Structure 1
Amino acid sequence: MRIFASSTPTGANISSGKIIKGEKKVAKIVSFFAGCGGLDLGFVGGFTYRNQKYAKQPFEVVQAYDFDAACEPTYKSNVGEHFQIMDLAKAKPAEMPRGDILIGGFPCQEFSICGPKGGTDSKRGSLFKSMSAYAKFHQPLLVIAENVAHLPRMNEGNELRRIKKSFADAGYRCIQWDMYAPDYGVPQARQRVVLVFVRKDIAFDPLPPRQTFAGKYRSVEWAISDLIGIDDETVANQSQYFKAALAKSGNGQGDETSPRNAPGYTVRANAKSRVQFHYALPRRLTIRECARLQTFPDNFVFPHAATTNIRQIGNAVPPVMAHAIATSIGAYLEDVVSGKLDTKGGEK
């Protein structure tokens, strides 16, 4: 069974498909719908958020793709130079690098409870097919796809069944992780589904990420209280916020006051007046405060005007939650390569 697409890196000692104890193989990742890079940052690791270090992961992103040109400067200045603007609906897998893992948060608007609900028949809703087409051609070990929590329930489950069939035809089975972001240390009430597509010649599945913060959630105050009194760029993006008193549309969405002692409301990609108010100050949350709720480190700088910045932040996967996913996937790959698990998934 082919384990890794890439050649052995300098210094690694691999014999008969097994990693020698104490050494790790770096898995190559290709990223679709990369946006500003939240999911990618979590998989790479090596960042600090609120004085906590998130370790380097055994992954290297070799190429990231997104259609939005505004994401390019954000991604390149914060994650890496391996970003390419591409309409993935027209992508040709044969012209892309082969990765061990494909990751991506395919567009969620058509599956959101607040969206147009176009589903897989819509132009945006069908973009998951670019991921299954890549999988069919390159046969990576895993495909990891993130989307909104409503996806499995939409159209009585038929939308998810269509997605699963597309990947089944490519040679993959699907496992589903329902993830509530505060369970993983994210101070934001964000509910998401992660679909892990496992190549069918691998007999066992990765375990879901550990809920290390279940029942002890981080609050909005924990995340942003030190920013009170800062209204300039001594902390990047802290001077940016929307000054509208009330939202002009959206049935009051965005007019909520952020809870002080609980995780915040979901940070949305909707710009302008759709950002919640501060729990103590008479203004809406700043771009940096929203980035904090999304667990971006303070040295991750958003280079655009507020409207574009909040769209990128709201569309992103929180890096801390992505890091939890990557930790589980990294442990799984180590077991795959080392032969720790037998063909039924149990320990030898």
Structure 2
Amino acid sequence: MNGTRLFKRYMPKILEILQRGDITKVDEKTIPEHDILCAGFPCQAFSISGKQRGFEDSRGTLFFDVARIVKEKKPKIVFMENVKNFATHDKGHTLEVVKRTMEELGYTFYQKVLNAVDYGIPQRRERIYMVCFRNDLSIKNFTYPKPIPLSHHVEDFLLNDEKLVESLYINRPDTYFQSISDDKYSNQSIRLGIVNKGGQGERIYSTKGIAITLSAYGGGVFSKTGGYLVHGKTRKLHPRECARIMGYPDTYKICKSANQAYQQFGNSVVIDVLQFVAIEIGKVLKLTAQQDQ
């Protein structure tokens, strides 16, 4: 299932906009009014020639298209997510351009790197979350959600039906395990061994720890998920297990192509983290409204 089919199934109204073509070519005036704009974009190099370090410096990047929509529609909240390294990309210049641009457009800018493992999900997935409030909302005290204790590990997210995962098991002569026992739980990933030379996608982890960061790309026998020791055998994660580790409920329908599913979950955001941030957004909006009464 490609992106178009996903939108058709879950967000048909958004699909209507997407079918108009490349977002860089869509007239922002034709986009429906909205209260919240959610966006993500590549951290490609932003111009360093501009003196203002704001809206004009973002030209030529996908963020410029986010900015022009914000400029036209003025949503109450702009919620953006990116990889952890976005915060330090180009020595911090890229993040500074985004911040200055949003301030120039009339928004208060907040940003913080959050790790999924700190919000109940056993996966090391650090992402920067940028929340911007329109200035007339007078939001001055927004805070990001506080971490919560981790009570689950990878083993709690595995499928019970072995028939669904039997094709994922790997039995190779060049599998090497470290001389450590797999009997302790941890809030970190626990590497137990390797396949081949132990490169990316060739490492084996314990299900009593947390998952490594799911990836949309990468090679190796355990590509995109990493390998795990399950019932004494090694395998990568099943797409449904990836969905669970990203916070998706089992009612979520996964595309039939495993490769596409792995890529989609590797590119996705962790639902639980989004929910926690959204709750804090709701709290500060409600508190500010009460103070204004």
TM-score normalised by length of structure 1: 0.65
Q: Does 1:326 align with 2:278?
A: yes
Q: Does 1:192 align with 2:127?
A: yes
Q: Secondary structure at the match of 1:266?
A: coil
Q: Secondary structure at the match of 1:340?
A: helix
- Matched to 2:290, the amino acid is K
Q: Deviations over 1:9-68 (max 9, x none)?
A: xxxxxxxxxxxxxxxxxxxxxxxxxxxxxxxxxxxxxxxxxxxxxxxxxxxxxxxxxxxx
Q: Deviations over 1:167-215 (max 9, x none)?
A: 222222311122111111111110011011121223224633433524x
- Give the drift of 1:239: 7.3
**Distance in structure 1 (CA, Å) of the matches to 2:239 and 2:60:** 28
Cross-structure match for 1:335 = 287
**Distance in structure 1 (CA, Å) of the matches to 2:59 and 2:202:** 28
Cross-structure match for 1:83 = 14
Give the 5 Å matches for 1:58-77: 70-77=2-9
- Matched to 2:270, the amino acid is P
Is residue 170–residue 234 contact of structure 2 (8 Å, CA) maintained in 1?
A: no
Residues 229 and 130 (structure 1 numbering): CA distance in 2 closer, same or farther, change over 3 Å? same
- Matched to 1:286, the amino acid is H
- Matched to 2:70, the amino acid is A
Is residue 151–residue 160 contact of structure 1 (8 Å, CA) maintained in 2?
A: yes
Bigger relative contact order (CA 8 A; separation at least 6)? 1
Q: Secondary structure at the match of 1:231?
A: helix
Alignment equivalent of 1:285, drawn from 221, 232, 237:
237
Give the 5 Å matches for 1:104-119: 104-107=39-42, 111=43, 118-119=44-45
Cross-structure match for 1:39 = none
Give the 5 Å matches for 1:247-326: 252-270=199-217, 273=220, 274=223, 275-280=225-230, 281-326=233-278
Is residue 146–residue 194 contact of structure 1 (8 Å, CA) maintained in 2?
A: yes
Residues 241 and 98 (structure 1 numbering): CA distance in 2 closer, same or farther, change over 3 Å? farther
Cross-structure match for 1:223 = 157
Q: Secondary structure at the match of 1:282?
A: strand
- Give the drift of 1:153: 1.2
Residues 289 and 203 (structure 1 numbering): CA distance in 2 closer, same or farther, change over 3 Å? same
Residues 144 and 242 (structure 1 numbering): CA distance in 2 closer, same or farther, change over 3 Å? farther
- Matched to 1:287, the amino acid is P
Cross-structure match for 1:120 = 46
- Give the drift of 1:120: 2.9
Residues 124 and 71 (structure 1 numbering): CA distance in 2 closer, same or farther, change over 3 Å? farther
Is residue 119–residue 125 contact of structure 1 (8 Å, CA) maintained in 2?
A: no
Alignment equivalent of 1:134, drawn from 53, 64, 69:
69
Is residue 242–residue 272 contact of structure 1 (8 Å, CA) maintained in 2?
A: no
Identity %: 25
**Distance in structure 2 (CA, Å) of the matches to 1:244 and 1:198:** 53
Cross-structure match for 1:166 = 101
Q: Does 1:152 align with 2:87?
A: yes
Quote the RMSD (CA, aligned, Å).
Answer: 3.1
- Matched to 1:293, the amino acid is I
- Matched to 2:37, the amino acid is L
Is residue 187–residue 223 contact of structure 1 (8 Å, CA) maintained in 2?
A: no
| Structure 2: runs of 5+ lacking an equivalent | 48-57, 175-193
- Runs of 4+ in structure 1 deviating by more than 4 angstroms, as ranges, are 238-251
Q: Secondary structure at the match of 2:113?
A: strand
**Distance in structure 2 (CA, Å) of the matches to 1:341 and 1:249:** 62
- Matched to 2:46, the amino acid is T
**Distance in structure 2 (CA, Å) of the matches to 1:301 and 1:209:** 30
Q: Secondary structure at the match of 2:234?
A: coil
Greater Cα radius of gyration, structure 1 or 2:
2
Alignment equivalent of 1:143, drawn from 56, 78, 84:
78
Residues 154 and 190 (structure 1 numbering): CA distance in 2 closer, same or farther, change over 3 Å? same
Select the structure that is richer in helix. 2
- Matched to 1:283, the amino acid is R
